[in-house]
């Protein structure tokens, strides 16, 4: 397991800096204007909820939901609230402070039981998977959760890390692993499949909110990986047209209320087992009980 995470360092600074700023604002205004003190501190701590709301507005404005039904206002509101609750757990706690809490587990007792390789997405690290890792370890399955560095580099720069993880899990278990990928992690897995003859070396691939065909929102980022995730980017078109990605090994979870990957249908793959969710947003969907349990149930499936 890697010893450093630039995303953890960045998010630690944001969490601590935000907390200190909120405290400083409250102390500065409390004697004279206690209401303003509380309002300002609340906006500093909870302002991210407004950013999330803007993302949902953009999702609705861009439209193009087919084949999913157009989400209702109530569904979008439920998805927004779920993301408001989930975001601090992921970006304010697990990733900055718990990213090494569940070390990779390759116990000799796992021999003969299929293992898992976890691949996180953009602006994330292996701490994203903390609840999954604890559960998989309790079930007795080996796993490696990769840490993709550099954080803002091109997707192709991450493939060697995935290759090493697959080799480690395969060596520990004697079986091809299941790949579980969130968001950009699914594109990393697909590029690895192409460049490392991976289709014969994995059991199945599960993607959670992956922009298989790009996302409208990527136009606002200048990072190398975000440019690759733009709608109809040359990199994505080359990947999509590669025959190795026909989809038969893929299970793709996607949501009509995904506030990051939209239009929503871009999170599907032709020929894959595409599973639609409603009233759930981009990060929150990775922690739904049915998503976790049905994904881990694939460990028991016979090889294709």
Average pLDDT, consecutive stretches of 10 residues, N- to C-terminus, the chain (304 residues): 88 98 96 95 97 97 91 97 98 98 96 97 98 97 96 94 98 98 98 93 97 96 94 92 73 98 96 95 98 97 77
Same domain, 113 and 33: no
Identify the pLDDT of residue 304: 67
| Structural domain for 24, as ranges | 1-46
Is 31 contained in some domain? yes
Same domain, 217 and 293: yes
Identify the pLDDT of residue 151: 85
Count the domains in the chain: 2
Please, are residues 283 and 87 in contact by the beta-carbon 8 Å criterion?
A: yes
Is 90 contained in some domain? no
Same domain, 186 and 285: yes
- The rounded distance, in Å, linking the Cα atoms of 301 and 246 is 20
Same domain, 144 and 287: yes
Please, are residues 216 and 58 in contact by the beta-carbon 8 Å criterion?
A: yes
- Long-range Cβ pairs for the range 126-129 (8 Å, 24+): 126/1, 126/2, 126/5, 126/99, 126/100, 127/5, 127/8, 127/90, 127/94, 127/95, 127/96, 127/97, 127/98, 127/99, 127/100, 127/101, 128/90, 128/94, 128/95, 128/182, 128/286, 129/102, 129/180
Same domain, 138 and 264: yes
Is 9 contained in some domain? yes
Identify the pLDDT of residue 264: 96
Same domain, 41 and 123: no
This prediction's pTM: 0.96
Is 92 contained in some domain? no
- The CATH number linked to 291 is 3.40.50.1820
Identify the pLDDT of residue 297: 97
């Amino acid at each position: 397991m890697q010893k450093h995470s630039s995303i953890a360092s960045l998010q630690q600074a944001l969490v601590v800096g935000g907390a200190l700023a909120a405290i400083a604002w409250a102390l500065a205004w409390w004697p004279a204007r206690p209401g303003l003190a509380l309002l300002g501190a609340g906006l500093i701590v909870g302002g991210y909820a407004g950013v999330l709301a803007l993302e949902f507005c953009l999702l609705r404005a861009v439209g193009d939901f087919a084949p999913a039904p157009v989400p209702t206002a109530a569904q979008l509101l439920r998805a927004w609230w779920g993301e408001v609750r989930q975001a601090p757990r992921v970006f304010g706690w697990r990733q900055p402070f718990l990213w090494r809490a569940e070390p990779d587990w390759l116990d000799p007792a796992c021999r003969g039981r299929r293992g898992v390789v976890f691949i996180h997405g953009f602006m994330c690290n292996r701490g994203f998977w903390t609840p999954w890792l604890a559960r998989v370890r309790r079930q007795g399955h080996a796993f490696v959760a990769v840490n993709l560095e550099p954080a803002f580099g091109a997707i192709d720069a991450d493939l060697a890390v995935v290759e090493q993880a697959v080799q480690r899990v395969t060596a520990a278990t004697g079986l091809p692993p299941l790949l579980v990928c969130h968001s950009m992690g699914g594109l990393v897995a697909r590029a690895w499949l192409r460049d490392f003859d991976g289709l014969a070396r994995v059991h199945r691939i599960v993607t959670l909110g992956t922009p298989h065909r790009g996302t409208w929102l990527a136009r606002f980022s200048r990072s190398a990986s975000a440019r690759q995730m733009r709608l109809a980017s040359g990199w994505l078109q080359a990947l999509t047209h590669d025959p190795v990605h026909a989809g038969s090994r893929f299970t793709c979870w996607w949501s009509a209320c995904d506030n990051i990957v939209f239009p929503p249908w871009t999170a599907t793959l032709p020929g894959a087992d595409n599973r639609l969710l409603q009233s759930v947003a981009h990060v929150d969907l990775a922690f739904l009980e049915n998503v976790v349990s049905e994904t881990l149930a694939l460990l028991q499936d016979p090889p294709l």
